[in-house]
Amino acid sequence: MNRRDFLKTTGERTFGLLLFGGLDVCAGVNTKTAGLPKGWLNPSREFSLCPFWFWNDNLSEKEIDRQLANFQAHEVHAFVIHPRAGLPRSIGWMSERMIYFMCYTIELAHKRKMWVVLYDEGMYPSGSSSGQVVAQNKAYRTRGLFCVDLDEAKPGSVKYGLRIDESGKPAPAEGINLIAEVKRKKNGHRVVIFDRSIRPGYSYIRGLHFLEENPPRRSNHKEVPENKPPAADILNPEAVACFIRLVYQRYYDEFKTFFGKTVKAIFTDEPSLLAKGGERGAVPGTHGILEHINRHLGYDFTQYLPTLWYRDEPDAERYRRDYNRALQGRLEETFYRQISQWCSDHGIALTGHPMGPDDIGHLRHFHIPGQDIVWRYIEPGKKSALEGEQSTQAKCASSAMIHLGRRRNSNEYCGAFGHNFTFEEMKWLTHWLIVRGCNLLYPHAFYYSIRGPRVDERPPDVGPNSPWWKDYKPFALACQRLCWLNTDSKHICELAILGRNDYLPWRPAKICFQNQRDFNYLEARHLWEDADVSREGIRQRNMHYKGLVLEGNPPQKAQKAIDILDKAGRIINWNNDIDDVVFIKKVDQIVKPDIKINPPAKDLRVRHVVKNGVDFFILFNEGENEISFTPDLNNMENGIFVDPYRHDVISRWSSGEEITFARHEIKVLKIIRGK
């Protein structure tokens, strides 16, 4: 049986098996490690950190050899090849020279028993092959929707490229498609909506090459000018098919011997509908998009089109949300599904992440669902760890992994946190992710070069050029142990929070986190597509949710399932007016907590998993102060605490004993059954 037939036979979980081997357990060799499994004591390289490796300068075989040896000396056995700003023009995107160095590096990684992830773009966002898609066909250039108020436009004028004739009517030129002419509800003005290609100079992706040959470092956060390849229309399935041919198929043609082996996955990075530098007045869209919007929403959106430009229209925010939700649904069809299917057919995993932090709908097309923490979106000691849309992203990816039957979920993290970023902050971010279920970490980034302005390009280097590199090995091993623990384990959780394809409620999630009531986000689609819903709750994959938190009104298609759960008393309604204590009491009436803390410790995060028949609790003090508490673990009376950085037993625990956690400390409690 060939690779493709095997994949079709065994299904989506094959991609996890391609990435990760089997498990085995040893009894330990001394009292400090007795009973700890081999996967913890000596974690497999499959759970290695997989940093973005910025190829950002002239490359050489000798330097590639040296850097890979340095990675492995610090227990880093994987990497993402990421062509980056600063490459010389002699190593252009997908050029023969770039392919040569990729091939050399992959072969070297194979010899070193490392694994590799390929990146699908010359910088980012993904989808244009560094402008090559548009070069193939100008019709594949990013398109946008525009709106002109006909009652305000002067006859004979040109607005957003649309000429208004002497009678005040639109006179579209070639390449402009009129969508609709409607009246605003606010003032009765006539507006015309049309789509066209975005003008040159707008909607571009970041380039690989500096405009100056050897530019100096810039001060005051000014970026060094780089080329700006035009972005492609990723709502156009033909443009995406072109992108796949230029990048994915080229990778396969060049490296197919290593696909599914040394080369484990291809990374797609935050595909964006208007990319960077969007043109003034443009709203994401493309030719024929209204038909798809209406189909997705189940009603005619035509009369509500003005809300996309005028916030003073009635219920503008609601209709903007509807439009975005439908737009993301179309993007699933044109971009993610098409690329995912190609990866399935070629024996490799699709990894990376979508544009939005709670775009859980897109993750169903990833073999390794992922998200990213960049630009200090989440920081220790800040509200952002629990509040706002960015706070949902780790649970977004780990929940998708569970509900879609994947083995791994990932996060690209630490990017653009700045030169003042510390090792302590990096560890905190890692623990923040782990306790929420992440099990594949993409540190952003290890820099091939820090020459000149390269050191200031989305800093910091969190690897060989960092001040903490000498202390990296224990950290890298701790990450391997924690990712091992979060893989092939059963998440013990009976509470779900309902979300939509592009929105996950963070407010009830915050209360659950602060009261150690673990949960997963359940995309509403599961309720009418593949979940088993009864009076006993919701069964999705290997999870049984006895309670469902509901914020606002669910999608109409989910109402039948919601009614069944509501009649059985399994719905916990949440709104801004509900008291935290009242909310948790409602949760506890439906879902029995598997851990209770006395006294309360709002900064404590807990994840309970069962691996190889053994209960493990990952406990992390996310806050800035020491905390002490006594846990009640539902008749689990004995255990041992393990420090991931030391891997051995640091203390024993018995029911009723108080536990103390230092600021930002993480420990793993392994439960021992019996005396």
- pLDDT band of residue 30 (cuts 50, 70, 90) is very low
Q: What is the mean pLDDT of residues 134-139?
A: 97
DSSP-based helix, strand, coil % in the chain, nearest 5: 35, 25, 45
Question: CA separation (Å) from 456 to 56, 288, 415?
Answer: 12, 42, 12
Per domain, the residue ranges of the chain are: 47-129+234-271+314-485, 132-221+280-306, 493-593, 598-671
- pLDDT band of residue 470 (cuts 50, 70, 90) is very high
- Looking at the predicted structure, is the pLDDT value of residue 4 above 60? no
- pLDDT band of residue 663 (cuts 50, 70, 90) is very high
Q: Which amino acid is at 546?
A: K
CATH 3.50.30.30 is right for the domain spanning 598-671 = no
List pLDDT tens digits, range 472-520: 999 999 999 999 999 999 999 999 999 999 999 999 999 999 999 999 9
Question: Residues 416, 465: contact at Cβ < 8 Å?
Answer: no
* Residues in a beta bridge with 628: 660
pTM given for the model: 0.93
Question: Residues 148, 196: contact at Cβ < 8 Å?
Answer: no
Q: Which amino acid is at 648?
A: D
DSSP conformation class of 420: T
Among residues 362, 358, 341, 309, the alpha carbon closest in space to that of 244 is found at 341
3-class SS of residue 6: helix
List pLDDT tens digits, range 269-280: 999 999 999 899
Among residues 16, 123, 19, 13, the alpha carbon closest in space to that of 77 is found at 19
3-class SS of residue 359: coil
The more confident residue out of 459 and 8 is: 459
Q: How far apart are CA 376 and CA 369, in angstroms?
A: 21
Burial 243-271 (b: 16+ CB within 10 A, else e): bbebbbeebbeebeebbbbbbbbbbbbbb
List pLDDT tens digits, range 292-346: 999 999 999 999 999 999 999 999 999 999 999 999 999 999 999 999 999 999 9
- pLDDT band of residue 438 (cuts 50, 70, 90) is very high
Assigned CATH for 493-593: 3.40.50
Q: How far apart are CA 529 and CA 535, in angstroms?
A: 18
Question: Residues 271, 150: contact at Cβ < 8 Å?
Answer: no
Q: How far apart are CA 349 and CA 467, in angstroms?
A: 34
Q: What is the mean pLDDT of residues 154-167?
A: 92
pLDDT at 33: 59
CA 629, 635, 638, 644: dihedral to nearest 10 degrees?
A: -60
Among residues 494, 493, 499, the alpha carbon closest in space to that of 550 is found at 499
**Maximum distance among all alpha carbons in the chain?**
92
Q: In a 10 Å sphere around its CB, with 0-12 CB exposed, 13-18 middle and 19+ buried, how is residue 614 labelled?
A: middle
Q: How far apart are CA 133 and CA 250, in angstroms?
A: 14
Q: How far apart are CA 136 and CA 232, in angstroms?
A: 11
pLDDT at 18: 42
Q: In a 10 Å sphere around its CB, with 0-12 CB exposed, 13-18 middle and 19+ buried, how is residue 661 labelled?
A: buried
Question: Residues 477, 83: contact at Cβ < 8 Å?
Answer: no
- Looking at the predicted structure, is the pLDDT value of residue 1 above 50? no
Q: What is the mean pLDDT of residues 414-441?
A: 97
Question: Residues 127, 231: contact at Cβ < 8 Å?
Answer: yes
Q: Which CATH class is domain 47-129+234-271+314-485?
A: alpha beta
